[in-house]
Structure 1
Amino acid sequence: MAGNTFGNVFRITTWGESHGPAVGVVIDGAIPGIAITAEEIQKELDRRKPGQSDVSTSRKESDTVEILSGVFEGKTTGTPISLLIRNTDQNSSSYDDLRDTPRPGHADFGYAEKYGIRDHRGGGRSSGRETAARVAAGAVAKKILTQYGIEVVCHTVQIGKVCADSAIISQFSFDEIKENIETNPVRCADSETAAKMEAEILAAKEKGDSVGGIVEGLIRGVPAGLGEPVFDKLDADLAKAIMSIGAVKGFEIGGGFDAAACCGSEFNDAFEINSENGRIKTVTNNAGGILGGISTGETIRFRAAIKPTPSVSTVQKTVNLKDMTETEIVISGRHDPVIAPRFVPVGEAMAAIVILDHLMRNEALHLSIQK
């Protein structure tokens, strides 16, 4: 199976299955001498781990990280960093009846068609459990980015039909959003909207159903000039990174799809001189901090549409792959009634990995120019 490695200079390779012994990641290209501890990585993993509230799965995993290599006396050595997260609360028996029946909305059918074999236990490699490894790698990327004054935050702006008021959200600063989202289980910056979102989730859960959502990402402190046109545009790589997360079905940068209803005169971001530092800035940020695939120095803003959890306890129609007959299934087991809140640390991790990779590529370019 190809496609398990992401990045060019800062590269990650994730491995493991949902119901296997463990999941993990190997990080190559980390800058040496960066102070990092298991506790710092654990802090990010704790934000993603299951069983945090009534709006997440009841599976109980401590997601305890073990650093196997690449860190000595609390600092990165520049060699590959290997991180291990053991699975301790699998219940594979819940999936015995799904060995030959692909679940609607899951990757089961595609894996069976492509490889002729699949791990039916919790989706195996295609499970959301794989994202724990991404979050672990993202914690390292985030720590390195702090050396450059770059920060990433994601926050929930819609759950089902409940949307956060953009006028209210725009009043919160970057730091306020970071603080507010950790005060409620849906990770919405506005507490009143968060309560409505939670009610929406619990109502769907009561019916054995699930809901989708939209998460917004903000990246501040990114210098102008990151991005590798033509095919490695910064926004293209961000899109690939975010779309590679299993539940994501839509992605947009800045004004995104709203641009289709605008005239150029209203969507274009005019340039001006920042009176505080004398640098060029834009009056608005409809481009989301990226023009021509290259960062402008403005805050990068993106949004991801996340589908409802496909594992629902209502009756669904499927096919038995063994005898090629139509049948019905009811999925049991422990599943999230919504994915968006737990997507937040995963989205932050992938965004941080993209920015760090482009930052290192840019530094390599400048070194070659100087030579």
Structure 2
Amino acid sequence: MVSKAIEKHGREAVAVTALSGSAAQILSGQTLHSLFGMDTRPLSREAWLRETLRRPEVCRRLSRLRVLFIDEVCTVPSSLFSRLGYVMRRVAPPHMQHLPFAGCQLVCAGDPLQVAPVKVTESSVDRMVFQCATWRDCFERAAGKVICLTGSHRQRDVEFQRVLDRLRWGRVGAAVIQKINATGTASISGSVTQLRIKKTSMQLINEERLAQIESPSVVFTATDEILTNDESLVETAVSSLRSSVDLTVVLKLNALVILTRKLGDTVPGSRGVVKRFICAGDQGGSTVTEVECDFDGKLVVVGRSRFSAYNSSGTELAFCEQLPILLGWAITVHRAQGFTLDAVQIDFQLDTWTTAGLVYTALSRVRSFSSQCVKGLRRDLIQVSRCSTAYYERQLAEDNIDPEEDGRPPIEL
């Protein structure tokens, strides 16, 4: 099988296959780990392999896989991509184990100039996905090819697109920043999502919006179960749990929520509205155990899921059981990557932390200037990854595409 990776410049890419059933799989980069039925734990590749071999159904699914589509692949750190490629080869038949991803045709889409994976920086040990040997085996040698797609697929406002191009390449002057901040006084009707950089800022906004709903609150409380006797590991395990789930989830009818785990055909990141609370046994019980949500017209019952913390060898250190949903009036920029939102509100004065590609990713979630309300943007917040820019320019050159024809503006003094 020949793998082909598609680097997307137009912020949207659609992958279509004639295959169906278990022969093909379409995933976002942020949910790639769900293919293996596991969370993104900090495991070695051998520990990840052992965990996979303990799941016969997952092994069968992987062995039948012929085409794998990965959207937003640049949200995947090199460590995870390498581990997945290694496990795919090891669970394959012996005659396929020498091939990248065991001969599975890989089609990826992603923009290297958007926000990098969490904890991946210019100086971190973990690197961008296109910097690992597994990526080169799949796409930079005889097995595959990188193709640059040009043009805009989300924005139709020409002036707005020019501003986004400057943000994307980090070539922004005072005039552009002033134009963006001028939208801070805009009054936007309809659904507006507030974007925040830090999780704590997002939570405060959601709590304020929840308080405005005049209906009783329903509280879902979890308890951390510690499975290790090593006191030195307890704090790390609990911290790991809190990074993925809160002990207390408070909901009300008509609250806006976001799903964090895949439930049937409903994928993580789906936004919905709370419609009904379900009591134990659903008949005469007084304790609410589940919640029914409307995700784009589809009613889904959400129950508790198990969230676990592990050490590097794959041993479970602690766990808790909680609803895999978050309040959804405000979300972080990392979680919004890949979304197209009706309108956004961003106040960059409220958060000081930033990373490469973050401002561009935040502002490109909407289609036009009229769909955003932005305050407090400063030049020092607009950062671009040097390694990502170098990689992207190299790919453009190999495709005989002039970067300036592909949206790279001249340097603004």
Return the TM-score normalized by structure 2. 0.22
Which of the two has higher C-alpha Rg?
Answer: 2
